[in-house]
Structure formats: structure tokens, C-alpha cells
Amino acid sequence: QTDYGRLLIGEKMELFAEAVRLAVAQKEASESTNFTWAFTGGSTPQAWYQWAAETDAIPAEVLASTHFTVSDERCVPLNSDESNFGNAERKLLAPKSVPVEHRHPWVVAYEPEKAAEAYRRTMQLLNPPGKAYDVCFLGMGDDAHTASFFPGSELLKSDGSVFFAAVDTPQKGWRLTITPTGLQACGLIVVMTLGAGKAEALKRVLEGDDALLDAPSKILKTCADKVVWLVDEAAASQLS
């Protein structure tokens, strides 16, 4: 247990399986009318999608009765390799025939602020007030960012009320993302962090005394009771 959530260190395949187990257990315990599960973006999930699709790790009844989305998105068309939802759809949701009405991409055809507004409306139709997602998957960058909270991000300075927003980041341009307030409105947050490239950032986040703006994943301290970190040996190699 850390100040930023529960830490599980293991082999990649164990972590892949644990991510499914945690999400399915959350669904089984949930009273949600619409169970919502947000995947994260970047490269880490790609291998996980592949594995989940090939191994049928997610039970068919969960796939058929869950609303899927992504916790943050780039402002690119769904058919782009950069599209977080596009990747989840191509690698998992489509091969597993998840009903189209259960697939909820951010509407990136609009300009960012309008896309965020449209997405907020979609999520408000699915969820009761006060809920963002039942399960939110996140990754962590080697600069210790998570979701689209990059170092210095405006989102880390405000305790705004919206759960989902558009933010123009100096590092990556416009991004659509769950906000820190939105993270606190999730049922379970699973952060998958793999590889030696993340070891320094993970140590800064979990053990360092960096400011939040320099180690944005420290935002998870505000919802540590619902956070599980799934970390491999390489990423955990600098932890004391």
C-alpha cells in the first residue's frame, strides 16, 4: 500500500490478467445501470488488447453488457494509429463484437471544446450525477504524466467541477481527457506501468517529494483508496 494507491508488482502476463480480474470484480459488485469502463491510451495497452482478444480473458457477458470508452484521447480521426479509442476498437471491441451502441469514442470531429461538451453529454446520459466511470484504466508517461495531465498542466491547478475536458498542452497539442475531478468520480482506477523506462518517474511519483506539477501522477493521491498500480519488476526497479 502506498499514499498513491495499492501497488502490485508482477510479471506482465500476471498484470494483464489482474487488470481484467479487477475490472470484472468491480462490475460484479456494481449496481450501475450502465457499467462504464474506460481504457487508457499510448502503447502499453496495445499488448494488453492483443492478449485480451486472443485469450478471451474478458467474459463474453461482460463484453456484451459494458459501455466502453477511453479516459483520454488525441484530437485525431478514429482511423488514426494515434487514436486511443480507435486502437481499442480495432484490437478488442470490434474483434469481440462489442455492440456498437456500447462504444463511446470522444467525438473528435468537432473542435476540442465542443468535443468535450459532446462527450460530457454522452457520459451524463449513461451515468448518474457524480459518476465518471466505473473503471478507469490509466498509464503513466516517463515524464510522470497520466491521462493528459502533463507537467505544468492547467488541469492540475484547478479543482474544476467538470469530469471531462479539452486541454491545449504545450507538449502534445490539444487533448481530450478525464479531469482530476473526474478521477475522483470513478469507482476503480487501474494504472498499468511497465518497463524500465518508467522506473525513474515511478520512483518520483511514489517516493519523491516533487511538486504535483512536476510529477502529475501524484494527483492519484487524491483518490488513492480506489487506485491499483499494476507494475512490472523493471518499472519498480528503483523503488525502495
| Residue choice 26, 36, 40, 66 for contact with ligand 6PG (CB under 6 A) | 40
Under rule CB under 6 A, residue 43 binds ligand 6PG = yes
Under rule CB under 6 A, residue 153 binds ligand 6PG = no
Helices (H) and strands (E) in the chain, counts: 7, 9
Cα torsion 169, 172, 177, 179: sign: negative
For 28, list phi and psi in degrees, rounded to 5: -65, -30
Cα torsion 178, 181, 182, 187: sign: positive
CB closer to ligand 6PG out of 32 and 149: 149
Q: Quote the least distance from Cβ 45 to ligand 6PG, whole Å.
A: 7
Under rule CB under 6 A, residue 141 binds ligand 6PG = yes
Cell numbers standing for residue 37: 469502463
Under rule CB under 6 A, residue 19 binds ligand 6PG = no
CB closer to ligand 6PG out of 66 and 84: 84
Under rule CB under 6 A, residue 84 binds ligand 6PG = yes
Under rule CB under 6 A, residue 147 binds ligand 6PG = yes
Q: Quote the least distance from Cβ 230 to ligand 6PG, whole Å.
A: 12
- Rounded to whole angstroms, how far apart are CA atoms 81 and 103? 18
Query: What is the SS3 assignment for 167-195?
Result: EEECCCEEEEEECHHHHHCCCEEEEEECC
CB closer to ligand 6PG out of 82 and 207: 82
CB closer to ligand 6PG out of 14 and 56: 14
CB closer to ligand 6PG out of 32 and 89: 89
- Measured CA distances, 120 to 104, 150, 190, 210 (Å): 11, 21, 22, 32
Under rule CB under 6 A, residue 134 binds ligand 6PG = no
Under rule CB under 6 A, residue 80 binds ligand 6PG = no
CB closer to ligand 6PG out of 32 and 150: 150
Contacts of 18 (CB under 8 A, 6+ apart): 8, 10, 230
Residue 169 has, within 13 A of its CA and on its CB side, a CA count of 23
Residues that bind ligand 6PG (CB under 6 A): 40-44, 72, 84, 139-141, 145-147
